[in-house]
Amino acid sequence: MHIRKRVLVTGGAGFLGSFLCERLLNDGCDVLCVDNYFTGARRNITHLLDNPYFELMRHDVTFPLYVECDEIYNLACPASPIHYQHDPVQTTKTSIHGAINMLGLAKRTRAKIFQASTSEVYGDPEVHPQNEAYWGRVNPIGRRACYDEGKRCAETLFFDYHRQHGLGIKVARIFNTYGPRMHPNDGRVVSNFITQALRGKPITVYGDGSQTRSFCYVDDLIEGFVRLMDAPDEVTGPMNLGNPGEFTILELAEIVIEMTGSRSSIDFKPLPGDDPTQRKPDITFARETLGWEPRVALRDGLKSTIAYFDDLLREMDDISLGRLN
């Protein structure tokens, strides 16, 4: 008889978490999705609720959790500047207390545990592209530090639990990811540009738009997650997962305007503090170790993302105008 692997996904109702839950169910796992809905949303996982192998629990990872599982994916943490700066103390707690609680659970159940870390651990980098050996350049007292340093400390905890308790760990450093189910008001560049273009509002570009980002489509990233988790135990990471294709913010704005057929103008505003000027992953480690690299081109990924936001904004308009029962 096939015994299903029981997998816990924290932040499972979020953008990335919902796609991961979906993938794990398709792979034949039992999935326990845990979320406190700070940035996650039930709408992201409603299509999974009838699946007998899917369970949903409302819980905040800053409090201990007592369940049984074989694997843990720790994705719980607000990941956009607007959300993580809204309550910076809670953001730090989510990263650090959340990591301690999930590592404690993994230690008790002897579960393999995955940490969704971030390219933000590199801060505003002096090395380009960034590889895993680079220690980063982070302002520890800036407005982004609650997230940057919280994630850096979580990585520390993971490796200390690995060394001290022999825990099986996997640490992925995620670079900018986009796709359907992104929060419409998360302030991230892709969702911002698409919603502004669809609404016909000016596209907000900070600075002169020459700063670069690398955009990875969500399906590619989730494939990387699963491959890293399934890799041999000695492959702990940290491992960069992202798309090395590099675009300026201005290029992205122009592509979105073109693809939406919008008449939006571009509105230049001052650059926020500690905003990285360049962001591009060196994915040599992932390519050589997992045979993984992104396959979805930016325009292809934007096509489905724009379609999602188009539907979502229409639905939001209908609700505000009382057209839906």
Residue 169, H or E segment? strand 169-174
Indicate the angle between helix axes 88-109 and 145-165, nearest 10 degrees: 20
Inside any domain, residue 263 = no
Inside any domain, residue 249 = no
Q: What is the pTM of this model?
A: 0.94
pLDDT tens-digit map of 186-221: 788 999 999 999 999 999 999 999 998 999 999 999
* Residue located via tokens 């939006």: 264
| Domain containing residue 67: CATH number | 3.40.50.720
pLDDT range class, residue 305, cuts 50, 70, 90: very high
pLDDT range class, residue 258, cuts 50, 70, 90: very high
Euclidean distance between CA atoms 75 and 246, whole angstroms: 25
Listed in sequence order, the DSSP H helices in the chain are: 15-26, 81-86, 88-109, 145-165, 189-199, 218-230, 249-260, 284-290, 298-320
As a whole number, the mean pLDDT across the chain is 93
Inside any domain, residue 305 = no
Of 73, 147, 178, 217, which one is the catalytic site residue?
Answer: 147
Report how many domains make up the chain: 1
Decide: residue 284, CB within 10 A, 0-12 exposed, 13-18 middle, 19+ buried: middle
154: nearest Cα among 79, 230, 67: 79
* Residue located via tokens 């002897």: 110
Inside any domain, residue 314 = no
Inside any domain, residue 188 = no
| Confidence check: pLDDT of 146 > 70 | yes
| Confidence check: pLDDT of 324 > 60 | no
pLDDT of residue 325: 53
Inside any domain, residue 225 = yes
Domain that includes residue 118, residue range: 6-179+217-242+281-296
Contacts of 234 by beta carbon, 8 Å cutoff, 6+ apart:
none
| Confidence check: pLDDT of 148 > 60 | yes
Q: What is the DSSP letter of 276?
A: -
* Better-predicted residue by pLDDT, 197 or 322: 197
pLDDT tens-digit map of 81-118: 776 777 899 999 999 999 999 999 999 999 999 999 99
Indicate the angle between helix axes 189-199 and 249-260, nearest 10 degrees: 40
Inside any domain, residue 264 = no
Inside any domain, residue 319 = no
- Enter the tokens of residue 94: 């989510």
Is residue 147 part of the annotated active site? The answer reads yes
DSSP per residue, 199-234? HTPPEEEETTS--EEE-EEHHHHHHHHHHHHHS-TT
